[in-house]
Amino acid sequence: MQDRSHLLTEQRLVDSMGLDEMSIDEAIVLMNFQDRQACEAVASQRQNLARAVEIVSERLRQGGRLIYVGAGTSGRLGVLDAAECPPTFRSDPQMVQGIIAGGEAAMFRSQEGAEDRAEDGAAAIDGKEAGPRDVVVGIAAGGTTPFVHGALRRAVESGAATIFLTCVQPTDAEPKVDLVIRPLVGPEILTGSTRLKAGTATKLVLNTITTLAMVQLGKVYQNLMVDLRATNQKLWDRGARIVATLTGLTREPALDLLKRADGHVKTAIVMHELQVDRAVAAELLEKAGGKLRDALKTGHPGT
């Protein structure tokens, strides 16, 4: 059995040794202070985060995939980020995917022992048929998860780009990858509970990577989700508000325009701004690689 006592996430936080004797208010103040350490730890990884965004956006632009791999909290956060991309950015559900040790059941109930088999991680990557156009991000807050190590090593063999996200200091057993993102959040208030600061740092990192990669792919204009397609009442409302904001139309004309654009926000905006029909607007967006700003600069085809 591996001795993990030297890892930062397994050490005791001196400030919380009296946690069971603190008032609720004192404990909240302490937790809030420690949560800020997660933000600072992520900020220290700015250069590595920027490189991760470049790697991911480059592969996605080539038609590749971003595949998260993790166990426990780390795996759930990866699956969550993947699940949130299609409704936020209208991305293909296959573009960002999450693998969690123990499979779908582990999302809702801990599957003890599922993370201990490196060969299962390798098999999961084989099942995805990962290749040179893909990026595999292994997430292991405590750094030693065999399932994640096995997945990353197989991903390297497959030619995929590889990123390791961990909250502990380097160890000799770490897989050799293209990039490591290492927000060192320090010991947890509840010793060893990496669902706390380490989990917060992990969520911040994943938010940053996918959000900014999608910006690079043209799914954002200014700070608006313009690649949205209205498919329910909430999205029709949001889409109409975005169209109104960017065109200066009032609500009802904006909603009518969005309906004529078949619910596609970017198409509606191009239709209005360049005074073209839906087919031409779609053509302009395709030629601009889906980037609304570039499509608006091109004008009508042939001009």
Query: Would you name the residues annotated as active-site residues?
Result: 84, 115
Please state, in angstroms and rounded to a whole number, the distance separating the CA atoms of residues 95 and 136: 12
Per-residue exposure over 165-180, b if at least 16 CB sit within 10 Å of its own CB, e if not = bbbbeeeeebbebbbb
Residue 23's φ and ψ, nearest 5 degrees, are -70, 160
How many Cα atoms occupy the beta-carbon half-sphere of 219 within 13 Å?
Answer: 21
Token pair 């911040």 is found at 204
Name 161's Cβ contacts closer than 8 Å, sequence gap at least 6.
Answer: 55, 59, 134, 135, 136, 178
How many Cα atoms occupy the beta-carbon half-sphere of 1 within 13 Å?
Answer: 3
Residue 202 in contact with residue 77, Cβ under 8 Å?
yes
Angle between helix axes 118-128 and 146-158 (nearest 10 degrees) is 40
Please state, in angstroms and rounded to a whole number, the distance separating the CA atoms of residues 100 and 115: 9
- For residue 259, give both structure tokens: 């309906």
CB atoms within 10 A of CB 299: 12
